[in-house]
Structure formats: structure tokens, C-alpha cells
Amino acid sequence: MMKKLVLLVVILLCIFTATTVMTYPRVGQWLFETVASLESSIYGLSTQQQDVGDVSMSYYRGGKQGAPVIVMIHGYTSDRTVWARFAKYFTDDYDVIIPDLAGHGETPYDPSLSYTQQAQAERIAALLDRLGIEKVHLIGNSMGGYISAYFAIAYPERTLSAAMVDPAGVISPTPSEMDKLLAKGENAFEISSFEDFKNFYPMTMAQPPFLPKIVLDAKAEEYMQRRERYARIGNDIHTEPRLTDRLHKLQAPSLLIWGDQDRLIDVSAVAVWTREVPAMKVEVMKGYGHMPMVEAPAESASIYREFLGEL
């Protein structure tokens, strides 16, 4: 199936570039979007739009209508596409929803809006209201993990379970590589050049899936174009108090997954989460970094399915 997909994309790319004048990064972006669209459709996910009050939210939805709902939440500067290969393991038995958070992916950015964890959690609640969904399982990565825990604490009556994958929200006892850079006044997320992105991308994953250079350069270009946007969103994120003092209020069944090679948020943060939520189930994945659901979708999905099966 994947060979056929690649062949189809190559044919489409040849046709497209033969009839369209495009810059080099734009070709890479078109290629990424085309593959992501084809791949998500193969997995039974379709892109939909929903007004949630202050923004029109783009999201994937697929799976079994009427089944328990899983909401998958991406991290800071990411988007819904990072969950597709993980999500395919759940569409036979669950109704899967994967939003682009406000200011990310295809959901618009408006500088007049708030991008705190509270604001993003409220938008997810509004999305569920519009879709007529009362209760959900949540799983989020990085900032999305923070939002999953935040939602579970703020909306306990709507939370069936909360899973956090290398989540933000607490201070790790051992500073990560990212923490050390921030202490020197350097933010790896603030991309001003292709060289900046070249240094940043390996920090996000220990075993990233293959992407052609043309796609990586397109992603670098996107980060550069959105630099001010991401800086504003990042500032809003950091105005929110850390979760540490509220974690004990997390009462829903919970799962913590962490890649032991995470360079953005050190794995030592696991001790903080488990101290505050002793009943939390924990899985540390050896050899993986900050995004194990991308690096090892089958293995991480197996961990999550086992957790859901025990509820």
C-alpha cells in the first residue's frame, strides 16, 4: 500500500510541477500536504471544520460512529497530522477526533485571542458541545499532554481517561537540553533560518520517520513564516501556572508515556507526575524521544490500547 501511495504522489508531483510555477519550499509543502491527505484518508480520517465560538477549528475525524470517543491533542508548533499513523490503530473500535488547536495547522491564528492551556481546553470543550459529545478519552503530546491533564481536572465529568505523552506542565528535576538553552536565552523553537531548523528538528525525536530534504526545508520555511505567531502562543503558554500544584486533582484513570531520550522535556519529570498522581500508569519507552507516537506508532498505540482495555 505504501509503495503505491509513494508512486501516486510522485506521478502527481510530476504533473503538478509541470503545470505550476512554484518556489522550492512550496513544492515540499505541497508534497507533505498531499501525502498527509492521502495517508489520513487511507486510515479512515477525513478533514472537517467546526465553529467553536472564537475560531473555526479544523480537525480529523474517523472511526466508528457511536463508539467511545478519543480526542488526540498535538503539541506546541505541531498539528493534527502527527497523530495519523497512531490513530489508525483505533478507528475500528473508537470514534477518533484530532483537532488542529487554535493558531496551529489549518486552524486560524488571531492575535487578539488567548492561547493559554485554559483557552485551548475550553475550545476543545466547545468542539465537543457542537458535536454533541458528552464524554471522551483524551491523549495529548507535549503541550497537548498538558492540555489533556488540564481538561481532565477542569472537566472531570466529561473525562473518561487522560493519557499524557511526554507532557509539558511541570518542571523536570533534571534540566533537559531545551531547558539549558532557555537558561542561556536561546529558544530552539524560534526558527530564523534553515540552519536553526536543522539543529531543532533532531531535538524533537530520537528516531524520526524519514522525510525528504525538500519536505524538511518546507517545514523550516513554515516555522520561519510563523515565528512571531509561535512566539506569541509560547508566551501565552508560559503565563499559565504550572500544573504541579493542581495535579493531585486529576481523578480520571490516567496514563503517562515518556521517551527516555527526550531532549525537550527530560524524562525525570515522570517522578513529579507520579508523586502527585500515584495511581497513574507509567510506561517509559526506551530509545525514543519527545514524540514516541510518531517515532513508534505501533508500539505506543499498543501501550495505549492496553490501558484503555483495562478501564
pLDDT 10s digits, 278-307: 999 999 999 999 999 999 999 999 999 999
Percentage of the chain beyond pLDDT 70 is 92
C-alpha cell at 237: 503558554
- The per-residue pLDDT for 31 is 82
234 three-class SS: helix
The Cα-based distances of 35 to 27, 59, 84, 118, 229 in angstroms read 12, 17, 11, 33, 26
Fold of 43-309: Rossmann fold (3.40.50)
Question: In the predicted model, what is the mean pLDDT of residues 133-143?
Answer: 98
pLDDT 10s digits, 215-255: 999 999 999 999 999 999 999 999 988 899 999 999 999 99
Question: In the predicted model, what is the mean pLDDT of residues 78-88?
Answer: 98
- The per-residue pLDDT for 56 is 98
Question: In the predicted model, what is the mean pLDDT of residues 101-119?
Answer: 97
* Residue ranges covered by each domain of the chain: 43-309
Q: Which pTM was predicted?
A: 0.92
At 3, is the pLDDT very low, low, confident or very high (cuts 50, 70, 90)? very low
Strand ranges across the sheet with 56-63: 45-51, 56-63, 95-99, 69-73, 136-141, 159-165, 254-259, 281-285
